Amino acid sequence: MNKIRKSLLIVAHGSRKKVSNIEIHQLANNISMKLKSFPIVEACFLEIAEPSIPQGIEICVQKGASEVLIMPYFLAAGRHVIEDIPNIVDNERVKYPGIAITSLPYFGSSPVIVDILKSLAENNI
């Protein structure tokens, strides 16, 4: 029996500014260093930048992922979170029938966001 090899795929919007996209890749790298339960952590983009969501899933699979958790790095539940990302992920599931591909709640829906904003405001950082 093969061991489940988890991957985390952070999905950001994508920007024309390369530095913004690099920041998302750095975030994925930082998460990778702290989240040992996920041997694979990658970043991808909904539009404008690469890798795209399909490419990001493919990268995870090529690295040996048997499970891909999709984390939408969005603050609000707009069209991208409600429709676009789920539609893309549904299409990708068909391509990888042996891989568990699951979408997590979007970043902004986390109750910890309130604590983060409170801390930032109180500490002026």
Residue 114 located in a structural domain:
yes
Strand pairing class (100-103; 6-12): unpaired
- The answer to whether position 103 is within a domain reads yes
Q: 45: domain CATH number?
A: 3.40.50.1400
Does 87 map to a domain? yes
18 has pLDDT over 70: yes
pLDDT digits (tens, 9 = 90+) for 55-113: 999 999 999 999 999 999 999 999 999 999 999 999 999 999 999 999 999 999 999 99
Residues 6+ apart with CB under 8 A from 100: 66, 67, 68
Global pTM? 0.91
Q: Which contiguous run of DSSP H or E holds residue 41?
A: strand 40-45
**Residue range of the domain that includes 107:** 6-123
8 A C-beta contact, residue 31 and residue 8: yes
Number of separate domains in the chain: 1
What does the alpha-carbon distance between residue 102 and residue 89 come to, in Å, rounded to a whole number?
A: 8
